[in-house]
A = this chain, B = another copy of it.
């Protein structure tokens, strides 16, 4: 009567969504609860901490952030003194972002903790499964990026 429940539990898209949400929340615990960063802020800080500078238009093209999300996440990081935002000399409509020393320091502090949390979970898997997951994921990402699948959201590599 009741193991209709195991029916949905076996449904791949459901399992996938559940796994992704739990995994993501585990990491958000680290940079979110402890350091007050949103997922978008964390991603942006991540990017800028290892680049000299990145222009706004490039960020929009190559990340999952749209221009509104980018603008707002960047504003918060600027307010916190973690990044700077300047007008591009090449095109005065464009902004160029750089991390500050404070931003890089914070990133260096958080990143190992995020890695540790991820490894704590992935480390509970055996090596073969971990490799399978990586390979499968890479293949899935390719499939998702295949041109036919771009319902909307083009160029979001």
With A51-B2, A121-B143, A136-B137 as known contacts, state yes or no: A20 contacts B22, CB within 8 Å.
no
Copies in the complex: 2
Q: Which residues of B contact A12 (CB under 8 A)?
A: 118, 122, 134, 137
Q: Chain A's interface: helix, strand, loop or mixed, by majority?
A: helix
* A35 at interface, CB cutoff 8 A: no
Cβ of A1 to closest chain B Cβ, rounded Å: 5
Give Cα A120–Cα B23 distance, bound, in whole angstroms: 25
A residues with CB within 8 A of B = 1-2, 4-5, 7-9, 11-24, 26-27, 29, 39, 43, 46-54, 58, 62-64, 114, 118, 120-122, 124-126, 129-144, 146, 148-149, 151, 153, 157
